[in-house]
Amino acid sequence: MQNLTFEYPSWFLILCALAGLGIALLLYYRERNFREQHRALVPLLGLLRWVGYSLLAALLLAPLLRYLDIDQQDPVIVLAQDVSESVGLGLDTTAYAARWAALREELAERYQVVDYTFGADVRPQGALTFTDKRTNLDAVLTEISDVYGTQNLGAIVLATDGIYNEGTNPAYRNLQLKAPIYTVGLGDTTQRRDLLIRRVFHNKIAYLDDRFSVQIDVAARNAAGASTRLTVSRVGDAGEVTLHTEAIAIDRNDFFTTREVILDADRPGVQRYRISLSGIGDEVSTANNRRDFFVDVLDARQKILLLAAAPHPDLTALRQSLATGQNNEVSIGYAGKFSGRLADFDLVVLHQLPAAERPATAELAELQRAKIPTLFILGDAAPARAVAGAQDLLSFRGTPGARGNDVSARLSPGFNLFTTSDELRQALPRFPPLTAPFGEFSAGPGSTVVLRQRIGRVDTEYPLLVIGESKGVRTGVLAGTGLWQWRLFDFLENGNHAHFDELISQLSQYLTVQDDKRRFRVSLPENIFDENEPVVLDAELYNSNYELINEPEATVTITNQEGREFLFVFTRTADAYKLNAGTLPVGNYRFRARTAIGNEELTYEGRFSVQAVEVERYALEADHGLLRQLSGRYGGELLFPADLEGLAARLEAAGTVKPVQFSTVNTRSVIHLKWLFFLLLGLLSVEWFLRRYFGGY
């Protein structure tokens, strides 16, 4: 439908016609040159001039052409098929897939059909494999709502067993769906005799030599009077080792119990544990009688040595404070009498070492060779030259034989290498003074001052505690003894040692954290992968200047627990490497990555594990009640596989799946019409040709 409008009053067209008529009369009313020609020539020329100029004048009124466009949107039918493992159990998948394909073809003859498969994730036009390890009903309905909620969605056909183990309950979601949902109930709702491990709650991480709790939910249906045995074992390269076993009596048909098992984290690394229930006979499934889980046991123990020149109360205060760290193993030794290996420790505290009578030259050399973090606690008679030779973070000029100086502590402004609480900041100036060597102190260029000295009532810039990297090793220097008084004063003031322990804990943690300076590194987003997720490794390679490069080829060999090796080549990214090894079978794996820069070969080794995803095996009874609730809420109905053949006729009979027409009013200036240009050109050209032909020019 089209109509013509003007920006000016339409009666102006009369003026346009009169203007064109006036020009035609002015030119041809008294024309004598063509009187001898055909008598109709002059009226014809006048008519052409009148129409052409009238049309030109009318275009000056900016006429607009308004027309109505009508678009038709065909209805969309969404077919969503659950392809999780629970759906495939007990289903003739071949026959069902043929029936589902026939429904799609029948609907496609009348409507626009969109296919989805869903399980752990949502996939357009996925294959009906029924192998997904999880089911997320909410995800597929949210996807349909987001994509087709504002379109002409005619109906949704959702085929599932109603079992979901990820996401929220879709029956209580407020989805933007204005189309009926026809649910197709798959699976079996019959509650048959079954024993299963419902859920397992456990730590993902435990620390070596700690104990951790495992809570096991055991359920049974229609098994009153039976009994089973719960066994927890560790699965390793050498087989299964039983850690715990107990009998469970099933005293009712709807049985449920929770058992707690305490296990020892006595081995470092990712440990695989197995929970199993002995069968009770005639079970619908025994696959849910067993469940594996993984715990990453971290060896976070810190071996700390307090090596002193002589017995001192500070040693007891430090040992008690460091022992509050659950994973700290603290030992005390004395210079000249200690027979252990310093390289076996993660941190060595040298109390009043080096000293004039005990320079500890051999101990310092061993610490330097082994790159062991060290904390120096200087006595009041510390020899300045020996102290300066042992580290380069703190130097002082003292007077040999001079009496020590009493100094209090204040936190250095702007210090931020580790966090200190406000309570500790306020408590430090009130702590009793330490005994420091008498002299002038200065911090080295690579040091960071933690505490500064306050002598009497004067705040000085002399450092009291400095930390940093000395000769390639994290090092700390405390220029004073008497820490035992700080710990005792903290207890007298506050009833605990929290402030003193916080300072010592933060200091020891800073010193024992070592930077990874390996030039070839491989990292994993997690140590434990699910069996249905790809194993991804990222690698970085640095040159001698610690600049990222990725020109050399990098490879990795992944070895499973049976010793079988899989060789992969890393893919180069912008400036690093990445490998997607795909999904791997359940088990423990180790890997060794290799690359080379020139003639230098670099390697990196690590471990990871792949755990089973078995949630689809623990709820086998279909939940058609949920499907009925979902269909009722959106105006559909619950169907079954036998009803698929008549679903197309059912939709047509319902009359709700219809095309929708959209009308759009468009406005366009008449001057953009090409045929109008050619009309004007034709009128004026014909007039010119006739005048020329009959001698008018």
Is the Cβ–Cβ distance between 307 and 347 less than 8 Å? Answer: no
Question: In the predicted model, is pLDDT for residue 318 greater than 70?
Answer: yes
Question: In the predicted model, is pLDDT for residue 384 greater than 70?
Answer: yes
- Residue 186: CA count within 13 A, CB half-sphere: 26
pLDDT (mean) for 323-350: 89
Report the share of the chain in percent with pLDDT over 90: 45
pLDDT (mean) for 68-82: 83
The CA-atom distances, in angstroms, between 117 and each of 129, 154, 303, 532 are 10, 19, 55, 16
pLDDT (mean) for 22-37: 73
Class of CATH domain 302-512: alpha beta
Question: In the predicted model, is pLDDT for residue 697 greater than 60?
Answer: no
Question: In the predicted model, is pLDDT for residue 686 greater than 70?
Answer: yes
CA–CA gap between residue 248 and residue 49 (Å, rounded): 110
User: Regarding the domain delimited by 520-611, which CATH topology (the fold level of the hierarchy) does it fall under?
Assistant: Immunoglobulin-like (2.60.40)
pLDDT of residue 332: 95
pLDDT (mean) for 668-677: 80
Q: What angle do CA 190, 184, 533 make, to 5 degrees?
A: 85
Question: In the predicted model, is pLDDT for residue 1 greater than 60?
Answer: no
Question: In the predicted model, is pLDDT for residue 33 greater than 70?
Answer: no
Is the Cβ–Cβ distance between 193 and 282 less than 8 Å? Answer: yes
CA–CA gap between residue 541 and residue 648 (Å, rounded): 60
Question: In the predicted model, is pLDDT for residue 3 greater than 80?
Answer: no
| Nearby residues of 200 by Cβ (< 8 Å), 6 or more positions away | 214, 215, 216, 217, 275, 291, 293
pLDDT of residue 118: 93
Q: Which two tokens stand for residue 161?
A: 């067993």
- Give the gyration radius of the chain's Cα atoms: 44
Nearest to 433 by CA among 449, 457, 411, 409: 409
pLDDT of residue 592: 95
Q: Which two tokens stand for residue 620?
A: 């086998």
Q: CATH 3.40.50.410: which residues of the chain?
A: 75-185+621-658
Is 75-185+621-658 CATH 3.40.50.450?
no
pLDDT (mean) for 288-313: 88
pLDDT (mean) for 342-355: 93
Query: DSSP letters of 9-70?
Result: -TTHHHHHHHHHHHHHHHHHTT--TTTTS-TTHHHHHHHHHHHHHHHHHHHTT-EEEEEEEE
Question: In the predicted model, is pLDDT for residue 661 greater than 70?
Answer: no
pLDDT digits 0-9 by tens, 530-540: 888 899 999 99
pLDDT (mean) for 485-503: 95
pLDDT of residue 572: 94
pLDDT digits 0-9 by tens, 172-207: 778 888 889 999 999 888 778 889 888 889 988 888
Nearest to 554 by CA among 524, 594, 523: 594
CA–CA gap between residue 636 and residue 157 (Å, rounded): 9
Question: In the predicted model, is pLDDT for residue 29 greater than 80?
Answer: no
Q: CATH 2.60.40.1930: which residues of the chain?
A: 520-611
Top pLDDT among 402 and 333 is at: 333
Which band of pLDDT confidence, cut at 50, 70 and 90, is reported for residue 34?
Answer: low
pLDDT of residue 674: 83
pLDDT of residue 516: 66
pLDDT digits 0-9 by tens, 211-262: 899 999 999 988 999 999 999 999 877 788 999 999 999 999 989 999 999 9
Question: In the predicted model, is pLDDT for residue 696 greater than 60?
Answer: no
**Order of strands, sheet of 122-124, starting from the edge strand that comes earlier in the sequence:** 122-124, 112-118, 76-82, 153-160, 181-185, 638-639
pLDDT digits 0-9 by tens, 416-446: 888 889 999 999 999 999 999 998 999 998 8
Q: Which two tokens stand for residue 553?
A: 């080829």
Nearest to 383 by CA among 408, 401, 410, 362: 401
pLDDT of residue 312: 95
pLDDT (mean) for 506-517: 82
Averaged pLDDT score across all residues of the chain: 88
DSSP type of residue 526: -
CA–CA gap between residue 321 and residue 314 (Å, rounded): 11
Is the Cβ–Cβ distance between 294 and 611 less than 8 Å? Answer: yes
Is the Cβ–Cβ distance between 378 and 405 less than 8 Å? Answer: no
Q: CATH 3.40.50.880: which residues of the chain?
A: 302-512
End-to-end CA distance of the chain: give it in Å, rounded. Answer: 46
What is residue 652's three-state secondary structure? helix
Question: In the predicted model, is pLDDT for residue 679 greater than 70?
Answer: yes
Question: In the predicted model, is pLDDT for residue 327 greater than 80?
Answer: no
The CA-atom distances, in angstroms, between 176 and each of 74, 191, 211, 634 are 19, 35, 49, 10
User: Regarding the domain delimited by 194-298, which CATH topology (the fold level of the hierarchy) does it fall under?
Assistant: Immunoglobulin-like (2.60.40)
Exposure string (b/e) for 162-172, b if CB count within 10 Å is 16 or more?
bbbbebeebbe
Q: Which two tokens stand for residue 246?
A: 């107990």
pLDDT of residue 178: 85
Q: Is this prediction's pTM over 0.75? A: no
pLDDT of residue 2: 60
Which band of pLDDT confidence, cut at 50, 70 and 90, is reported for residue 662?
Answer: low
CA–CA gap between residue 295 and residue 278 (Å, rounded): 24
At position 290, the amino acid (one-letter code) is R
pLDDT of residue 659: 75
Helix (H) or strand (E) run with residue 626 in it: helix 624-633
Q: What angle do CA 503, 508, 511 make, to 5 degrees?
A: 125
